[in-house]
Amino acid sequence: MCIIRSRSIRNIRTDQYYTLIAIYRNLKKTYQLKMSAMKKYFWDSEETEYMLKVLRELDIAKHLDGRKVRNLKLFKVAEKRMKQAGYHRSIDQIRHRWKVLKTSYYSWNNNQQTVKLTRFPQYATTMQSIMDESETWNRSHDTNRGPVRIRNRPKPTVHEEDTEDSEEEVVTAAQSLHDNSTVDVIIKTDPDPETPPEMDSNLRIGFIGAGNMAYGIAKGVLQSGDVPPTNVKVSAPSTRNFGRFQELGVAVTHSNAELVSSCDMVFVAVKPHLVATVLSEITDHVTRKHIIVSVAAGVTLATLQGLLPFDAVVLRLMPNLPCLVQQGALLFSRGTRARQEDGDLLRSLLQHCGLVEEGPEAWIDIHTGLSGSGVAFVYLFAEALAEGAVKMGMPSALAHSIAAQTVLGAGQLLRDSGKHPAQLRSEVCTPGGTTIFGLHAMEQGGVRAATMTAVETATERARELGRKSAPTATENRK
């Protein structure tokens, strides 16, 4: 793999090189996923005891039905409390730990020699108390079932409830992948990537502009369930697009200043040439407690910060049209006053809009050419696919339907497989087959070069819009 990464192989074709790179990335991703999955097995005694303490405070005994927990929301609350205490564990990891403790409890309670968790005796007293409380609760609140006799249960098999490998087997596997010093326990200060930041239910969000981008983002934010519709407001000079927002339960207004005064995070989703005018309307109402997120193409962070108070928190976001169906690709960059927590909050809010990534501002214009404009490039390709089929005799409606599904399926396979496009392309081709003949025709037509030039041209246009917006901002500030 080192040879591949250093590109020291001289006599290798381009397609072979990209295939090897794809294989390397796939192996790396598999390794990372395996290590991530193993994290749930490694707990130290301190965090296990704290988890049991939290679950007991949440009266988990009252929610037990034999071996099952009737109210799974308990684990969500437990996750938040553990995070506040510095233990970054996902809901899945907490549930798995509880299952291991239960299995060990029943084995220990029935005097079995094999207990799944070797360190269980130090948790036995707490588990016994929880189970006794559960027995008492169930006996007093369910007269139809009769008493629950935990101690007279038949002896469970070794893997009656859990099918995961034992801790000893997992440790052995982990040692073959990592040094002992790095696989002992999870580091408390390293947040679990699966756990989003805790959302303030009182967060108020506003949208200046009622176009497609604002609507797509608003749908994604509301779909998360963390922000109620009553906490969202939209402002626009025209009522033309208000109807679809009102169907979501969102308040509408014509006053940008009123919207900013009543919101904590404001998305400026207007055309680039209108940004200076809009920000001049709201600048007197923006405080250091506000988070301003611009969705305008080409308008730089420097321009935005120049139009707002010096201590304003500003982020620049570039979404794309598939946000309307929560399948977008979004890239954002933070201004000088924006903290990591502000970026994490934005990422958490937008997670239901599609793929959300953070990067340097220089990438925003590139993302505009790649994904913002790239959506239209894909539509043109899908249209050409369908028209080719129509030319050969297929009905237009059917051709367009199949072309759309082809683009959708190819994109999903590319995303989910983790393979390089060149590798997937080569897997479709067979010697002397139809696909390689078609690809040859596309190469002769310059499709690859034309697509690369389209991304380059769109990126340069985004940068040009940014340069044009800078003087306007300076003039407006004066």
160: its two tokens: 């009656």
d(CA 313, CA 336): 8
C-alpha pair distances (Å), 448 with each of 332, 393, 442, 452 = 28, 27, 8, 6
Distance of alpha carbon 312 from alpha carbon 325, whole angstroms: 31
150 and 139 in contact (C-beta within 8 Å)? no
User: If DSSP codes are grouped into helix, strand and coil, which group holds residue 303?
Assistant: helix
What does the buried/exposed string (b/e) look like for 278-299 if buried means 16 or more CB atoms within 10 Å of the residue's CB?
A: bbeebbebbeeebbbbbbbbbb
* Rounded Cα gap, residues 38 and 36, in angstroms: 5
Residue with tokens 């006996």: 139
What distance, in Å, lies between the first and last C-alpha atoms of the chain?
57
- Structure token digits, residue 434: 């139809």
Give the pLDDT score at 154. Answer: 42
Residue-range domains of the chain with CATH = 40-182 (no CATH), 205-362 (3.40.50.720)
Phi and psi dihedrals of 372, rounded to 5? -60, -55
User: How high is the pLDDT of residue 392?
Assistant: 96
| Strand-pair partners of 268 | 208, 294
222: CB partners within 8 A, 6+ apart: 229, 232, 248, 249, 250
Q: What angle do CA 124, 130, 136 make, to 5 degrees?
A: 130
Residue 317 CB burial class (10 angstroms; 0-12, 13-18, ≥19): buried
pLDDT (tens, 9 = 90+) of the chain, 478 residues, equals 444 444 455 555 565 666 777 777 777 766 665 555 555 556 777 888 888 888 888 777 677 655 556 566 778 888 888 888 878 888 878 888 888 888 787 777 776 555 555 666 777 788 878 877 777 766 666 544 444 444 444 443 433 334 344 444 444 444 444 444 333 333 333 344 444 445 556 889 999 999 999 999 999 899 878 889 999 999 999 888 899 999 999 999 999 999 999 999 999 999 988 999 999 999 999 998 999 999 998 899 999 999 999 889 999 999 999 998 889 999 999 999 999 999 999 999 999 999 999 999 999 999 999 999 999 999 999 999 999 999 999 999 999 999 999 999 999 999 999 899 999 999 999 999 999 999 999 999 999 999 999 999 999 998 888 777 665 444 544 4
Q: Which residues of 28-49 are buried (b: 16+ CB within 10 A; e: fewer)?
A: eeeeeeeeeebbbbebeeebbe
Label the pairing between strands 205-208 and 291-294. unpaired
How many CB atoms neighbour CB 454 within 10 A? 17
Cβ contacts of 359 within 8 Å, gap of 6 or more: 331, 332, 333, 367
Instruction: Report the residue count for the chain.
Output: 478
| Contact between residue 260 and residue 290 where contact means Cβ atoms under 8 Å apart | yes
How far apart are the C-alpha atoms of 319 and 351, rounded to whole Å? 12
Overall pTM > 0.75:
no
Residue 381 has, within 13 A of its CA and on its CB side, a CA count of 16
